[in-house]
Amino acid sequence: MVSLVKPHGADALKPLYVADEAARVALQHEAELLPSVVISSAAAANAVMMGAGYFTPLSGYMNKADMLSVAENLTTADGLFWPVPIVNMLKDVSAIEGAKRIALRDPNVDGQPVIAVMDVAAIEEATDAELEAVAEQVFATTDKQHPGVANFLAAGNFIVSGDIQVLNYSYFADDFPDTFRTAVSIRNEFVERGWNNVVAFQTRNPMHRAHEELCRMAQEALNADGILIHMLLGKLKPGDIPADVRDASIRKMVEVYFPPNSVMITGYGFDMLYAGPREAVLHAVFRQNCGCSHLIVGRDHAGVGDYYGAFDAQTIFQEKVPAGALEIKIFEADHTAYSKKLDRVVMMRDVPDHTKEDFVLLSGTKVREMLGQGIAPPPEFSRPEVAQILMDYYQALDADK
């Protein structure tokens, strides 16, 4: 009998996608007659996540009080534990002023179709100072060189809150038909596979040997029935590897190196926040909604640059997440690398007798250089089949320059 962890703050998932086709078609017709506004990519991604049930139990976009409370206390104004504001922020609200029901248009799809219909609860203005305070609390910086901060502070000062009904999953379902999954379908598949304990691995990058072995270590340590490799499919910062290349390389790694029925490869439609510790907690919330019992949180999880300490994304769970706020548990991982001494991948904390020279360590810059030149990284660092896919990508990039 499969018994998965309960969704966050609810007895059952609350997907906001209108699944009934007749109701959805009727809503699409209504939407064309409503006042409408093109929302930001971040707000569209929030709609996708709410539509897919990942952001259970939210029923729509947060208001200003919720945004400020979540930023400061990690709870909404009425006490729901939540780590990151889920908001629809706009620069200009003249097209929807006074409207009680509006259509939200998707900036990421040609023709800007309606992604959701919203019952407007409030349109509130936040000052620049208030938004900077929120950025400081969520991202731990107000530096606009930080990609998450830059996006947040550029979205606009008007917070449009209210419940939504979601009409589609933006470009994710069409562009990634084999990979994009809703929290509802992931949870259902766990039941079909008979998986009770599932460990989730979050990634926005291709997986090297160290990531592969980390998944195995976690599965073994937790006696998990399976691994959910769950990749971000939305917008990243310039220079990051696109989702289709990541997808291909991860699928090849799992196909060759993992036993059948031990891994599910899936993706979710969200733009990367690079919010480090806060985003790690958000990752935990929506992996719990998927039915995962554990989430691997490693070194500099969801980080960027030098904005966060190496293990801040682990300590936030002890310091800021109240007991009982989440059912999902964290598997704390150290930096993982291939040991020349032991001829296998290890966590560095488990081998205190090693020096830096005992590991196969390559910087991201060095790996990109090698791949661009058609040189495969050593097999201790990257599986040859994975390296080939990445070499093809980087060499095509160089050829286009």
Q: Are 354 and 339 in contact (CB under 8 A)?
A: yes
Q: Is 205 a catalytic residue?
A: yes
Strand partners, 89: 159
- Report the C-alpha gap between 44 and 388 in whole angstroms: 34
Please state, in angstroms and as integers, the Cα–Cα distance from residue 187 to each residue in 198, 297, 384, following that order.
10, 21, 33
Q: What strand order describes the sheet that includes 329-332?
A: 263-268, 226-232, 198-203, 294-297, 329-332
At residue 200's C-alpha, the angle toward residues 194 and 204, to 5°, is 140
d(CA 95, CA 210): 51
Q: Which two tokens stand for residue 308?
A: 């966060």
SS3 118: strand
Q: Given the residues 101, 204, 216, 368, select the one marked as catalytic.
A: 204
Alpha carbon of residue 237 to chain centroid: 14
Query: Catalytic: which of 196, 205, 251, 368?
Result: 205
Six token digits for residue 339 = 């040991």
Active site residues: 204-205
